Amino acid sequence: MLLIPAIDLKDGHCVRLKQGDMDQSTIFSEDPAAMARSWVDKGARRLHLVDLNGAFAGKPKNEAAIRRILAEVGDEIDVQLGGGIRDLDTIERYLDAGLRYVIIGTAAVKNPGFLQDACTAFGGHIIVGLDAKDGKVATDGWSKLTGHEVVDLGKKFQDYGVESIIYTDIGRDGMLSGINIEATVRLAQALTIPVIASGGLSNMADIDALCSVEDEGVQGVICGRSIYSGDLDFEAAQERADELNG
Active site residues: 8, 131
Give CA–CA dist 163/165, Å, rounded: 7
Give CA–CA dist 4/2, Å, rounded: 6
What contacts 41, CB < 8 A, 6 or more positions away? none
Q: Are 165 and 172 in contact (CB under 8 A)?
A: no
What contacts 93, CB < 8 A, 6 or more positions away? none
Give CA–CA dist 44/78, Å, rounded: 10
Taking residue 216's Cβ as centre, other Cβ atoms within 10 Å add up to 14
Torsional sign, CA 84, 87, 91, 96: negative
Amino acid at position 98, single letter:
G
